[in-house]
Chain A
């Protein structure tokens, strides 16, 4: 099983590369977008983590940042954008509305983006403070390094199933 060792070493190296250059697709809908701007702005600069380059096309982005309330009407849009992202991909639910629907418990606000897509890191707060966002990014980087992201686990499981025969 030599392959197993080299891939993990190669996998670690690849994860290390991915960890420090997450290209975000800012799926901005509501008030958290203003705080997302502040996180990208000079004071709480997200560029220090290599994640400041927003890519507005799912083909070129690894990290889907769901920023703000997801309404029922926005659900299919979010699902399609997530499906069209290239593997491996991660999702951050930015703010309590994206995590659980926040204090909008009604017919139109969806109780959290994880009703539609698997989410890797949830950020509480309405809107969360920029420090919370950077902390969440560091959490995600640890998760990327250890390969525990949803898409990574799904990929590894499919690999094992294929190998297992």
Chain B
């Protein structure tokens, strides 16, 4: 049923929708960044779409991900073909998931982002739920959201340098705020 949503999107936005797929039962539409707000507004306001419940938004960092050249036949088949690193694909991809309580369908919008201009228009005025969700992505991945009411770190403290969930941030690099000096007691 949600296939209808994807077709409606491609029909209406044409080239802005780079690709659509529905593997594992999830409908995914890859949208270009500059058309994101338009697509989102359409999805929310169009009565046939009626995506009123925002599910979540996050970001994927593809640094160093190796993609299999041939897709294994059964999901359990161990891929024998060696994977090759991907360098032409943009490093980040924003992921928004929306749900419609009216029509009971769900869609996931992916927005590929290049590494050196990590800016995405904010959707927090369309759905207030994205206020904190975007702050979390800003805190963890460093993606700037233009038009966000108050974009600041939500999980880490202000003195924290860097964005921890990026693949190049080592897991155990701590930036301690306070430590006690070890006296002999």
Interface of A toward B, CB cutoff 8 Å: 72-73, 75-76, 79, 105-108, 110, 115-118, 150, 153-154
A72 & B185 in contact (Cβ 8 Å cutoff): no
What residues on B are CB-neighbors of A76 within 8 Å?
Answer: 177-178
Determine chain B's interface SS by DSSP, over half rule: loop
Expressed in whole angstroms, the minimum distance between the Cβ of B172 and any Cβ of chain A is 6
What residues on B are CB-neighbors of A153 within 8 Å?
Answer: 185
Given A72-B174, A107-B171, A107-B173, are A115 and B156 also a contact pair (CB < 8 Å)?
A: no
Per the bound structure, the CA–CA distance linking A110 and B177 in Å amounts to 10
Closest 8 CB pairs of A and B: A73-B157, A75-B178, A106-B171, A76-B178, A75-B177, A107-B164, A107-B174, A79-B178
Per the bound structure, the CA–CA distance linking A16 and B180 in Å amounts to 30
B167-183: CB near A (< 8 Å → 1, else 0) gives 00101111111111000
Per the bound structure, the CA–CA distance linking A30 and B73 in Å amounts to 44
Closest to B171 in A: A106
What residues on A are CB-neighbors of B177 within 8 Å?
Answer: 72-73, 75-76
What residues on A are CB-neighbors of B179 within 8 Å?
Answer: 75, 115-116
Return the contact of A116 from the options B155, B172, B174, B178 (Cβ within 8 A): B178
Interface of B toward A, CB cutoff 8 Å: 155-157, 164, 169, 171-180, 185
A118 & B156 in contact (Cβ 8 Å cutoff): no
What residues on A are CB-neighbors of B174 within 8 Å?
Answer: 72, 107, 110
What residues on B are CB-neighbors of A118 within 8 Å?
Answer: 180, 185
Given A105-B171, A107-B171, A154-B185, are A115 and B176 also a contact pair (CB < 8 Å)?
A: yes
Expressed in whole angstroms, the minimum distance between the Cβ of B6 and any Cβ of chain A is 38
Expressed in whole angstroms, the minimum distance between the Cβ of A51 and any Cβ of chain B is 24
Per the bound structure, the CA–CA distance linking A72 and B155 in Å amounts to 11
Closest to B179 in A: A115
A79 & B180 in contact (Cβ 8 Å cutoff): yes
What residues on A are CB-neighbors of B169 within 8 Å?
Answer: 107
What residues on B are CB-neighbors of A73 within 8 Å?
Answer: 156-157, 177
Which of B157, B164, B173 has the most chain A CB within a 10 Å cutoff? B157
Return the contact of B175 from the options A72, A115, A150 (Cβ within 8 A): A72
A107 & B175 in contact (Cβ 8 Å cutoff): yes
What residues on A are CB-neighbors of B156 within 8 Å?
Answer: 73, 108
Given A73-B156, A108-B164, are A117 and B172 also a contact pair (CB < 8 Å)?
A: no
Given A72-B157, A150-B185, A153-B185, are A106 and B180 also a contact pair (CB < 8 Å)?
A: no
What residues on B are CB-neighbors of A107 within 8 Å?
Answer: 164, 169, 171-175
A-B CB contact pairs (8 Å), 6 listed: A72-B176, A79-B178, A107-B171, A108-B164, A115-B179, A150-B185
Per the bound structure, the CA–CA distance linking A107 and B155 in Å amounts to 12
What residues on B are CB-neighbors of A72 within 8 Å?
Answer: 157, 174-177
